[in-house]
Amino acid sequence: MEAAITKKDAIITAYRDHCIFLSRGGTLLQAFAELMGRRDGCSHGKGGSMHFYKKDANFYGGHGIVGAQIPLGCGVAFGQKYMKDESVTFALYGDGAANQGQLFEALNMSALWDLPAILVCENNHYGMGTAEWRAAKSPAYYKRGDYVPGLKVDGMDALAVKQACKFAKEHALKNGPIILEMDTYRYHGHSMSDPGSTYRTRDEISGVRQERDPIERVRKLILAHDVATAAELKDIEKQVRKEVDDAIAQAKESPMPDSSELYTNVYVKGLGAEVFGADRKEVKSVLP
């Protein structure tokens, strides 16, 4: 996705936000520190896993409420059209959120106003512990737009995703919203409490890993076209592992946020901040 767009384009997503934060220019230290609730985190340790942000790169999170990011993303797209800056917004959501009513409300407004919004359904076929066919009467999510065109994309093919996002951006700037359904897969459980194997077979999981894994597919392409040798790729992997280990160690050394941080970034400055971020004595001095 990043290879097809610029940092002027906006991205907003749900709580699968970690890698998008990194692709927008965030650091490993900021990511791990936020996971640990430390001061060096991208949200200063107050957001946690669900609330990664990078405003200077137009990455707007990171949202815990299922589907809530979609109308917000369409609002960002409204701003882009209003400012005429020739940029688009990618609003990402999962197959579980595809059944949320607010998706269709936001889509209607986006189509009505020809907003440069690209709605990306990351269809990994399992919403929490439920298979898509048990939750959706029509799991062809790219067709759900009715009056908005859609494309189904092999989300496990990096080059296909790049071309689809390039096309979608060009379309959205000229014609308004478009839906991209990224056909991908979730190897593990939805969360730590979900073993991920009670509602599907282990053979299914291993089969996808062997046949469709996106990293393995890129690796094979690189080797087949002599872009790099197997030894060079191994060296890259070792270097990346070292960078990850170093970042984790630094994050563990990062201090916890000061207790005063509880009162920051909650309300805008002004009367609201003076009232809601103050103790009772201060409130009495502000209120009539």
Written in H, E and C, the secondary structure of 138-171 is: CCCHHHCCCCCCEEEEECCCHHHHHHHHHHHHHH
**Cα separation of 30 and 21, whole Å?**
9
Query: Residues 250-277: pLDDT tens digits?
Result: 999 999 999 888 888 887 766 554 555 5
Strands laid side by side in the 89-94 sheet: 10-12, 89-94, 117-123, 178-183, 150-154
Question: What SS3 state is found at 172?
Answer: helix
Q: What is the pLDDT of residues 24-57, one digit of tens each?
A: 999 999 999 999 999 999 999 999 999 999 999 9
Looking at the fold, whether 77 and 36 belong to one and the same domain comes out as yes
Task: Tell me whether residue 28 is in a domain.
Answer: yes
Question: Are residues 143 and 278 located together in one domain of the fold?
Answer: no
Same domain, 116 and 25: yes
Residue 276 falls inside a structural domain: yes
Distance CA 145, CA 224 (A): 39
- Whether 176 and 263 map to the same domain: the answer is no
Instruction: Give me the residues of the chain with pLDDT under 70, please.
Output: 269-288
Which two tokens mark 190?
């939805």
Question: For the whole model, what pTM was predicted?
Answer: 0.89
The number of C-alpha atoms within 13 Å of 107 and in the hemisphere containing its C-beta is 24
Residue 2 belongs to a domain = no
Quick one: pLDDT at residue 190?
A: 84
Q: Are the C-beta atoms of residues 88 and 166 closer than 8 Å to each other?
A: no
241 and 277 in a single domain? The answer is no
The residues near 178 (Cβ < 8 Å, ≥ 6 apart) are 118, 119, 145, 148, 149, 150, 151, 168, 171, 172
In this prediction, residue 287 carries a pLDDT of 44
Q: At 69, is the secondary structure helix, strand, or coil?
A: helix
Whether 44 is in a domain gets the answer yes
Same domain, 245 and 287: no
Q: Check residue 173 and give its pLDDT.
A: 98
- Structurally, the chain folds into a number of domains equal to 2
Q: What is the CATH number of the domain that holds 213?
A: 3.40.50.970
Q: Is 215 helix (H, G, I), strand (E, B) or coil?
A: helix
Same domain, 243 and 111: yes
Assess whether 237 and 267 both reside in one domain.
no
Answer yes or no: do 264 and 244 share one domain: no
Same structural domain, 219 and 152: yes
| Sign of the alpha-carbon dihedral angle for 154, 157, 163, 168 | positive
Domain that holds residue 237: 7-256
In a domain, 1, yes or no: no
Do 197 and 146 share a domain, yes or no? yes
The answer to whether residues 183 and 194 belong to one domain is yes
